[in-house]
């Protein structure tokens, strides 16, 4: 049993590397790039979404479930939500949303993550897609995990996007940071920093699929005088299961002081 599963992980990893190598032959990169070029030697899966022309690489422990964010990706793909804009993505994972923003015409994206494999993964995908000079991926530390801990005080973005962890629970391992946001600290610090990092009237686009998180977001926005809006979704929060898919797209807008 163990030999079979070892064999199957080995063949999956081999297939992943072979596919990435094959892909790289058709990518705009001058030379082939594989995860080994950036010092990553564990398993790689290939995953796709309709928004991007090539599959993305997914490294071990890095989150993947595009059912969290179909409305956010569709909004970026079909409207001017990010076109010509500077975007900050908090909690980038594979780099999926930052890549979709750049694909949709964002001029520049800064993407953060607390999982070191996600930081490598998003940088790798950025390079694979030819976005390396428009995508900056930054490592958040466990010691200082607030939403803007690695964003300079004077840095401003036109739009902030995130598919943050949804459940109010303490993560026990690095991959659980994709799912759990203890006391909703990431959510609260993300909201606290909006006036400093967005222009007046600017907005954050957030994906959540958890009733508790969405109700908390709504009340935390009200406390801060922000406008909270559910975007194009008529599902009733009081009739949904505690956690649900696809995720709901929430827009948080700052007061326009001009
Ligand atoms: C639900 S996953 C979303 C990943 C990606 N945006 C996507 O949609 O596929 C949440 C991500 O947030 C990251 N994360 C959790 N806490 C964080 C923090 N304090 N700062 C930055 N990233 C964090 C996790 O490591 C994970 O990659």
Tell me the CATH number at 221: 3.40.50.150
The predicted pLDDT at position 23 comes to 56
Is 56 part of a structural domain of the chain?
no
Is 164 part of a structural domain of the chain?
yes
Phi, psi (rounded to 5 degrees) for 68: -65, -30
Is 160 part of a structural domain of the chain?
yes
User: Strand, coil or helix: what is 160?
Assistant: strand
The predicted pLDDT at position 36 comes to 86
The predicted pLDDT at position 22 comes to 54
Is 108 part of a structural domain of the chain?
yes
Phi, psi (rounded to 5 degrees) for 184: 50, 40
The predicted model scores a pTM of 0.91
User: Strand, coil or helix: what is 138?
Assistant: strand
Of 122, 141, 148, 178, the one to substitute when testing ligand 1's pocket (max ligand atoms within 8 A of C-beta) is: 178
Is 25 part of a structural domain of the chain?
no
Tokens of 195: 């006036």
Nearest Cα to Cα of residue 147 among 188, 196, 207: 188
Domain enclosing residue 196, as ranges? 62-253
The predicted pLDDT at position 33 comes to 72
Is 176 part of a structural domain of the chain?
yes
The predicted pLDDT at position 252 comes to 98
61 touches 175 (CB < 8 A): yes
The predicted pLDDT at position 39 comes to 81
The predicted pLDDT at position 112 comes to 99
Is 206 part of a structural domain of the chain?
yes
Ligand 1 binding pocket, CB closer than 6 Å: 63, 68-69, 90-94, 96-97, 112-115, 118, 140, 145, 163-165, 177-178, 186
Residues of the chain with pLDDT under 70: 1-32, 258
Q: How many domains does the chain have?
A: 1
pLDDT in tens, 51-105: 999 999 999 999 999 999 999 999 999 999 999 999 999 999 999 999 999 999 9
Is 203 part of a structural domain of the chain?
yes
């Amino acid at each position: 049993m163990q030999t079979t599963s070892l064999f199957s992980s080995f063949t999956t990893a081999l297939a992943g590397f072979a596919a990435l190598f094959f892909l790289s032959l058709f990518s705009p990169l001058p030379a082939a790039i594989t995860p080994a070029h950036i010092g990553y030697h564990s398993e790689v899966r290939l995953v796709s979404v309709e928004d991007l022309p090539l599959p993305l690489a997914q490294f071990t422990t890095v989150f993947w479930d595009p059912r969290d964010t179909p409305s956010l990706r569709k909004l970026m793909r079909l409207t001017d939500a990010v076109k010509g804009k500077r975007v900050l993505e908090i909690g980038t994972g594979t780099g999926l949303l930052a890549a979709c923003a750049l694909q949709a015409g964002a001029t520049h994206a800064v993407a953060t993550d607390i999982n070191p494999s996600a930081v490598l993964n998003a940088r790798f995908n950025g390079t694979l897609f030819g976005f390396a000079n428009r995508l900056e991926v930054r490592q958040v530390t466990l010691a200082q995990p607030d939403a803007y801990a690695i964003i300079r005080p004077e840095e401003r973005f036109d739009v902030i996007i995130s598919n943050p962890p949804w459940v109010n629970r303490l993560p026990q391992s690095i991959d659980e940071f994709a799912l759990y946001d203890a006391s909703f600290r990431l959510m609260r610090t993300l909201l606290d920093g909006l006036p400093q990092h967005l222009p007046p009237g600017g907005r954050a686009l957030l994906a959540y699929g958890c009733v508790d998180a969405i109700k908390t977001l709504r009340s935390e926005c009200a406390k801060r005088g922000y406008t909270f809006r559910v975007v194009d979704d008529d599902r009733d929060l009081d009739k949904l299961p505690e956690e649900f898919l696809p995720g709901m797209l929430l827009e948080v807008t700052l007061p326009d002081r001009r």
